[in-house]
């Protein structure tokens, strides 16, 4: 109002001056003054618009560093600038809370053991957590179409799964097969259709249930066979003694006439029954080991000491079979929580299997080494590798099944027992094989 009053006064003064034609210099000066007053009045009015524009631009582009200084302004602008600053600070707090929540949720997703994969309708990946990268064996994934090189079955499953659907998919890789359980959820987010896939490796759970089922079967078989075979063995032994001591003696005394050839056949048959029965008892006794694996006494075990003991124990036997034995002793500080005797039993079994597998090859060699596996969160890994003929693809999934063996004199419990021992250590026993090149058994703790 003061600026307007000043402008009105100056215009009135100009009108008075124009009455006198000789005062043209004064009139010109007053005209310049009026022009300046009009300019500053318009500038004053536009100031609010400029500050509003700056304020809304800061909100639009999330530039919450903007500040409005109320110092030196009249009370109206001081109040306006104060509210501007309060609004910007409120938005700044909201943004900080949003970023904190985002970081919190991102940390949780990355920390989960279950893989999470999120992609849109075009297959563009929006989220892939660390667990999913490890399961898919990929450092990054931009579009799920790239999974075509990994598994066509997996790619087709990702496209076909609907909300609430689940499916099992097997991925084969050099380190062994992975059984993935996939579950899907779809959602609409800001007009974009997204599909969330959870991936979980259930191979260990499946193997654990499989072992438990075999153990139950073994207990039943052991009970029934033992109950049946024990009296047979006892009876066969008694008949054999009776024939040897009484019947043959009586025949020699002339009291009973028995054909000598028949007697020989009877004795042979009874001996066969006894031997076969003893063999069955031995058979059952071996397999009962699978159901009675002792609970491991977990203690810190230095792999350096463990490897040195294995080297001293197996070096001579390897030399006898003319197999090169390379056992790389790890750093002294590398250790695991384990039962040293049970782990030694597993490693001896695997090393001897490797020795037998490559014994007939040219330049046979068995290597054992331990290291921290960066692909498994730096867990301790022990590999037993041989350069034998490898394991045929059609039987590699069967070698851990109890009773299954390809050896003429094998019992079929060695690998199954080894996997059970590693399972009790909360670890994993894997196998990978390349035909005519190598086989690697890996213990992951």
Report how far apart, in Å, the C-alpha atoms of 233 and of each of 167, 237, 287 are.
Answer: 51, 6, 19
CB atoms within 10 A of CB 373: 16
> pLDDT tens across 302-351, in order?
988 888 888 888 888 888 888 888 888 777 788 899 988 889 889 988 99
| Cβ-based neighbour number of residue 363 at 10 Å | 9
pTM beyond 0.85, yes or no: no
- DSSP run (H or E) holding 350: helix 340-358
pLDDT tens per residue, range 351-409 = 988 888 888 788 889 999 899 888 787 889 999 999 888 888 777 777 777 666 666 56
- At 233 the pLDDT is 67
Residue 407 DSSP class: S
- How confident is the model over 222-278, as pLDDT tens digits? 665 666 566 666 666 666 665 665 555 555 555 555 556 556 666 666 676 666 666
Tell me what the mean pLDDT of segment 96-124 comes to.
86
Residue 354 CB: number of other CB atoms within 10 A? 27
Q: What is the largest CA-CA distance in the chain?
A: 180
CA 277 – CA 259 distance, rounded (Å): 27
Contacts for 231-235: CB closer than 8 Å, 24+ residues apart? 232/273, 232/277, 233/274, 233/277, 233/278, 233/281
Handedness of CA 297, 301, 303, 304 (dihedral sign): negative
User: Taking a C-beta distance cutoff of 8 angstroms, is the pair 337, 301 a contact?
Assistant: yes
3-state secondary structure of 296: coil
d(CA 104, CA 125): 21
CA angle 217, 218, 219 (to 5 degrees): 90
């Amino acid at each position: 109002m003061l600026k307007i009053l000043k402008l009105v006064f100056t215009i009135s003064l100009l009108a008075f001056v124009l009455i006198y034609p000789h005062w043209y210099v004064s009139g010109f000066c007053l005209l310049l003054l009026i022009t300046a007053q009009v300019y500053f009045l318009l500038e004053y009015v536009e100031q609010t618009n400029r500050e509003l524009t700056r304020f809304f631009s800061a909100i639009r582009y999330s530039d919450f560093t903007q500040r409005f200084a109320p110092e030196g302004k009249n009370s109206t602008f001081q109040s306006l600038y104060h509210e501007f600053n309060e609004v910007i600070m409120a938005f700044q707090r909201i943004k900080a809370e949003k970023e904190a929540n985002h970081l919190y949720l991102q940390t949780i997703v990355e920390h989960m053991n279950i893989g999470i994969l999120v992609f849109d309708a075009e297959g563009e990946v929006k989220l892939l957590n660390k667990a999913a990268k490890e399961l898919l064996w990929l450092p990054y994934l931009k579009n799920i179409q790239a999974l075509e090189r990994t598994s066509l079955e997996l790619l087709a499953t990702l496209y076909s799964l609907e909300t609430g659907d689940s499916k099992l998919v097997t991925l084969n890789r050099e380190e062994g097969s992975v059984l993935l359980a996939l579950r899907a959820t779809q959602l609409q987010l800001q007009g974009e259709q997204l599909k969330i896939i959870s991936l979980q490796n259930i191979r260990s759970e499946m193997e654990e249930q499989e072992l438990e089922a075999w153990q139950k079967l073994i207990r039943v078989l052991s009970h029934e066979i033992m109950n049946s075979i024990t009296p047979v063995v006892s009876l066969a032994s008694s008949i054999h003694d009776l024939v040897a001591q009484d019947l043959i003696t009586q025949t020699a005394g002339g009291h009973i006439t028995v054909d000598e050839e028949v007697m020989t056949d009877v004795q042979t048959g009874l001996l066969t029954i006894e031997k076969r029965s003893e063999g069955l008892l031995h058979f059952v006794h071996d397999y009962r080991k699978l159901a009675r694996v002792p609970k491991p006494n977990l203690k810190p075990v230095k792999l350096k000491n463990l490897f040195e003991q294995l080297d001293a124990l197996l070096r001579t036997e390897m030399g006898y079979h003319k197999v090169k034995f390379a056992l790389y002793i790890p750093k002294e500080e590398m250790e695991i929580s384990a039962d040293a005797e049970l782990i030694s039993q597993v490693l001896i079994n695997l090393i001897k299997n490797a020795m037998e597998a490559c014994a007939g090859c040219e330049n046979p060699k068995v290597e054992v080494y331990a290291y921290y596996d960066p692909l498994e969160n730096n867990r301790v890994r022990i590999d037993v590798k041989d350069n034998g003929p490898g394991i045929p693809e059609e039987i590699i999934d069967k070698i851990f099944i109890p009773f299954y063996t390809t050896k003429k004199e094998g019992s079929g419990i060695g690998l199954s027992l080894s996997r059970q021992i590693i399972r009790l250590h909360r670890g994993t026993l894997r196998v990978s094989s390349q035909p005519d090149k190598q086989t690697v058994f890996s213990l992951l703790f």
